[in-house]
Amino acid sequence: MSQLFITVFTEVQAAAHKNSRDKGFWETERNMGESIALVHSEISEMWDGFTEYNPPSTKIPEFSQVEEEAADVVIRLFDMAGGAEWRLAEAIVAMVPFKDNAIKLHDVPFLDVCAALIDATSAVELDTGDSDAERVVRLHAEMSRMLEAVRHKNPPSEKLTGFSQCEEHAARVVAMLFVDDDGGLAKAILAKMAYNATRPHKHGKTF
């Protein structure tokens, strides 16, 4: 198991969750159904990007709309994992196993561990489909399964021993987003987190 991946990935997850708390999103107990619905909305906005020829993001213009929305999916899952104390990084490594010697650290460790994750996903069948549309549908399906798990009080996963079903579905969504990625997603995650840190209370929204 890659302890290095777990350490670095969890540090970034914790930073995303802290920013969410600092912006007021956890002033009251968060509703898991609402959180899942918000992830669905980000996935749908990814699809909008695909149908609109993937224009530059209006918030982080050095990235495309699809990259920004994919980053938002991961950031929201980071926040959910932080609030629910899910072992997201550990579940990813259990699903997509790789070792620390596959990771070459440079200036930004998060980019390096994500590069290793991209390489590792190529050896695992994650069923992302054969088109952008199919991948979007499969991402939605995983989040719908997560909601079903929540309704059943998040029972143990039957596929990932030692993890809950919510941890399994969150890990699969993240891993699917990194399949065939060119390295842009990890950079977009960091850029969107930096942008979010500059936004007003609750990003000017209700929830």
Answer whether 79's CB lies under 8 Å from 103's CB.
no
CA distance 198 to 204: 12
CA distance 49 to 192: 16
Per-residue pLDDT reduced to its tens digit, 62-108? 999 999 999 999 999 999 999 999 999 999 999 999 888 889 888 99
Per-residue pLDDT reduced to its tens digit, 157-197? 999 999 999 999 999 999 999 999 999 999 999 999 999 99
**What is the CB-side half-sphere exposure of residue 4 using CA atoms within 13 A?**
17
Phi-psi region of 127 (alpha: psi -120 to 50; beta: other; left: phi over 0): left
Q: Which pLDDT value is given to residue 1?
A: 59
Percent of the chain at pLDDT above 90?
Answer: 89
Q: What does pTM read for this prediction?
A: 0.97
The rounded Cα 74 to chain-centroid distance in angstroms is 2
